[in-house]
Chains A and B, each alone.
Chain A
Amino acid sequence: MPSLILTRFRQGKRTLRYPDTEPALPDRFRGLPILDHARCPSGCTSCVDACPTEAITSDGGLQIDIGRCLFCPECANACPEGAIRFTSQYQLATTNRDDLILAEGKSLRLARRLAEQIHRILGRSLKLRQLSAGGCNGCEADVNVLNTVVFDLGRFGIQFVASPRHADGLLITGAITQNMRLALEKTYAAISEPNIVIAVGACAISGGPFRDHPEVLNGAGSIVPVDLYIPGCPPHPLTILDGLLRLIGKIKES
């Protein structure tokens, strides 16, 4: 018993003072990519060619789809002029799929609060069922850490539950394999209305690195309507938490 108390004392209080205080992220963290078109040499397609998931296109002006982006360093490394770089902005979640496509003069519009009527029902207590369907266990792991003492998801009124019958919504990870299609449809059907669907990670949004494999369906959007897109590969736990809190209005749209 004394060792238990002593250990408890030594481990300290570890819960982030988030969202009141901005947490520190590693210097090399790759958050929101920004494009500086002015630096692009004419006719250069280095970043387009380097991108493993065709997230960057240059037809009609450079644009990047952060729903497909793996946040890997390849494009920034390939650019001879530093026209594309990753910032430390971890807030990336959006309400619409199109909002994830960034172009000149089109900056990221972060997720908005649920519509008033649904917010009144789900805003203070949100129970989510998690469905993993063709990812890599990276997104699952970084969703799971929200339950640790560091993030302490429960203090925001959000909880992962063990049955779709107990859930207000579905949090989906993975590219949706052919082999999980039926399970996704049945799980979604078992959740009562009104409900919400959250797609976490490049796979669930667009198929990620598995995009266009015949064994996958390129994300959740082809099967169920999605209310919140949280990009990343995997998204940082704070990116996920920020998205969830914006959805329920605990972080205001700035």
Chain B
Amino acid sequence: MKPRACLVSVEMATALLSFHSGEAIPLQDIPNLSIAEFRTAILSAVSSTCTLAALYGMPAQNGHVRLIAVAADSVTNSLSILSTKVSQSYPCLTLECPQAHWFEREIAEQWQIHPEGHPWLKPIRFHAPYRSGNSVSPAPVPGVTDFFAMAGPEVHEVAVGPVHAGIIEPGHFRFQCHGEDVFHLEISLGYQHRGVERALVGGPGKRTIHLMETLCGDSSIGHSTAYCEAIEALGGTAVSARAQVMRGVALELERLANHTGDLGALAGDVGYLPTAAYCGRIRGDFLNSTAALCGSRFGRGLIRPGGVGFDLDKPLIAKLQQQLEAALRDVQGAVALLWGSSSVQARFEHIGTISRQTCEALGLVGPAARACGVERDIRQDFPSGIFRFAQIPISKWDSGDVFARAWVRWLEIQRSGAFVREQLSSLPEGPILTPSRPLLPNHLVVSFVEGWRGEICHVAITDGAGSFAHYKVVDPSFHNWIGLAIAMRDQQISDFPLCNKSFNLSYCGHDL
């Protein structure tokens, strides 16, 4: 049966505004609904083919909060937007639409709006509310909340973090265990909260691009591209074909480096050291290619509003091609060992399994979703830049376990490698940078990029002067942390490092 598109019903067509990613729309065109209509429209959208790309609050007049929802339909490749005003509370969406759960926790924490009936209403970042007034609550203490707890004979709790045993970002994990078996894992974050979104209001300023590059530093290219596409749409700036190709190459190099590193780390977590050692080094080779492009291994300084900050010439292209071929050859050899080792396969298969149904209900994104058989990839569904012309096939597998998440990465390494190879050999001529223009006042734009972890969504809203009235960042990890928690159910606690690495989520991208 062909999936039903989400804009079919007459009442919904009037309730939602349909538009495209990277398209600036006037604020006045955004439907402002009653809370009942707002809820109905969202529930109807997600019950068909839409996912919730963003749901958040922003200040409105008279101390009210405006809730904005962006639903993405990967069948019609269009976005829908709607909004409503709330002041104290509203009936939560989470009970009927589980993928709203984290968004609603964020709304409650930031704006003190109570989503009534939310089953899991706890802070996600542990900061003081952005809206004063309603209740005077003491400043939250990170990691202090009413954790889910179990009782009974031989039940015990394991607490880990925020400081971890390795060189890892901070986060707190609570395992409810019975013997070695994990019944439940609760993940409490916020330790990396640097107030990025609040600092973006009033911009763009000279620090803005740097905040984009560092809000999640291992995805600098992904987030800075999403930002640049947003303000290019608001400024009506056309980016040259050459710059678009270079952005695509940089994005795929970022994916190649991180996927390679992840496969090495997965090998390390099951004690298979050859692949761990090789991939750790090959990851650096991909990063060094990005550094050859722009001087920074993380692509800092490369993506700039209007294009890219560095150009390529023939000798540098030849050098990049040579580096790429060597790294792809090495990663092929290193990763082939994994699939040829029965002991590795035995540790990867049937561990941390998530069903497709659960994946879709939770709204997981990126390789984690594609490993559950879900065909969801921004490069196909909402392509921008070079991805409108050069398509990368969606890589998926359907077993939903650690193996699937590793295998999807391997498929993506091969396809990204082929993409970079092709693009470098046919780089269009032209300028690399188009001068930026002032942003349209009172407009909104949604931009999407498929980062290596999945869907990066930015929503920029300008005020009457063309400055950011609000800027929303949804990192793929925002959707996926719950996936790790669910994947750990009924697993052995000793499988946590392996499951964790198979997601490899961002703390700072979540905490912002």
Q: Which residues of A are at the interface with B, using a C-beta cutoff of 8 A?
A: 3-4, 7-8, 10-11, 14, 26-30, 49-53, 70-74, 77, 86, 129-145, 147-150, 160, 162-164, 174-175, 177-180, 182-183, 187, 208-210, 213-216, 233-234, 236
**When chains A and B are docked, how far (Å) is the Cα of A8 from the Cα of B330?**
10
Residues of A within 8 A of B196 (CB): 210, 213
User: Given A11-B334, A26-B292, A234-B298 in contact, is the A52-B206 Cβ separation under 8 Å?
Assistant: yes
Inter-chain contacts of B192 with A (CB < 8 A): 132-135, 174, 177, 179-180
Interface residues of B in 199-250 (CB under 8 A from A): 199, 206-207, 209-211, 213-218, 220
Asked if B298 and A183 make an inter-chain contact with CB atoms under 8 angstroms apart, the answer reads no
- CB neighbours (8 Å) of A132 from chain B are 167-170, 192
Q: How far is the CB of B136 from chain A (nearest CB, A)?
A: 19
Give complex CA distance A70, B295 in Å: 12
Q: How many residues belonging to B are interface residues under a CB distance threshold of 8 Å?
A: 62
Q: A72-B301, A141-B218, A213-B199 are in contact. Are A11 and B337 (CB under 8 A)?
A: no
Pairwise interchain contact A208-B214, C-beta atoms closer than 8 A:
yes
Closest B residue to A72 by beta carbon equals B301
Partner of B291, one of A29, A145, A164, A175: A29
Q: Are A73 and B301 in contact (CB under 8 A)?
A: yes
Report yes or no: A74 in contact with B206, Cβ–Cβ below 8 A.
yes
Q: Are B281 and A53 in contact (CB under 8 A)?
A: no
| A30 near B210: Cβ-Cβ < 8 Å | no
| Residue B4 is within 8 A (CB to CB) of chain A in the complex | no
From B169, B280, B288, B295, give the contact of A140 (CB < 8 A).
B169
Question: A136 and B214: CB pair below 8 A?
Answer: yes
User: Do A28 and B293 have beta carbons less than 8 Å apart?
Assistant: yes
Q: Contact: B281 with A14, CB < 8 Å?
A: yes
Tell me if B508 is interfacial: C-beta within 8 Å of chain A: yes
Residue from B170, B211, B330, B333 within 8 A of A209 (CB atoms): B211
Binds A, one of B39-47, B158-166, B414-422: B158-166
Q: Does B507 contact A (CB under 8 A)?
A: yes
Beta-carbon contact of A210 and B295 below 8 Å: no
State A27–B292 Cα separation when bound (angstroms): 7
Known: A52-B210, A130-B167, A134-B192. A73 touches B217 (CB 8 A): no
B508–A135 CB distance below 8 A: yes
- Is B64 an interface residue, CB under 8 A from the partner? no
- Offer 19 A-B interface pairs, CB within 8 angstroms, sorted by A: A3-B337, A4-B337, A11-B334, A49-B206, A53-B207, A130-B167, A133-B170, A138-B220, A141-B298, A147-B280, A149-B277, A162-B165, A175-B194, A177-B191, A179-B127, A183-B191, A213-B195, A215-B127, A234-B217
| Chain A residues, CB < 8 A from B431 | none
Tell me the bound Cα distance from A138 to B73 in angstroms: 33
Instruction: Report yes or no: A137 in contact with B217, Cβ–Cβ below 8 A.
Output: yes
What are the residues of chain A within 8 A of B337 when measuring CB–CB?
3-4, 7
* Complex CA distance for A130 and B283, rounded to whole angstroms: 21
Partner of B210, one of A72, A134, A142: A72
Q: List 4 tightest A-B contacts by C-beta distance, closest first.
A: A136-B217, A138-B217, A162-B165, A28-B295
- Are A209 and B207 in contact, CB atoms less than 8 angstroms apart? yes
Known: A74-B206, A215-B194. Is A148-B281 also a contact (CB below 8 A)?
Answer: yes
Q: Is the CB of A73 within 8 A of B210?
A: no
Q: Are B163 and A135 in contact (CB under 8 A)?
A: no
Answer whether A72 and B333 are a contact pair too, CB < 8 Å, given A150-B284, A210-B195, A216-B194. Answer: no
| B199 CB contacts on chain A under 8 angstroms | 210, 213
Tell whether A150 pairs with B310 under 8 Å between CB atoms, given A30-B296, A137-B216, A215-B127. no
What separation, in Å, do the CA atoms of A76 and B163 have in the docked complex? Answer: 38
Shortest beta-carbon distance from A158 to chain B in Å: 13
A26-B295, A132-B168, A134-B192 known; A209 vs B277 contact (CB < 8 Å): no
Measured in the bound complex, the distance between the Cα atoms of B301 and A30 in whole Å is 11
- Chain B neighbourhood of A178, CB < 8 A: 193
**Which residues of the other chain, A, contact B280 by a CB distance below 8 angstroms?**
145, 147-149
Bound-state CA distance A28–B310 (Å) is: 9
CA distance A199 to B333 in the complex (A): 37
Q: Mark B112-151, 1 if CB is under 8 A from A, else 0.
A: 0000000000000111000000000000001000000000
Bits for B293-316, please: 1 = Cβ < 8 Å to A, else 0: 111111011000000011000000
* Residues on the B chain within 8 Å of A30, using CB: 295-296, 301
- Asked whether A70 lies within 8 Å of B218 as measured between CB atoms, the reply is no
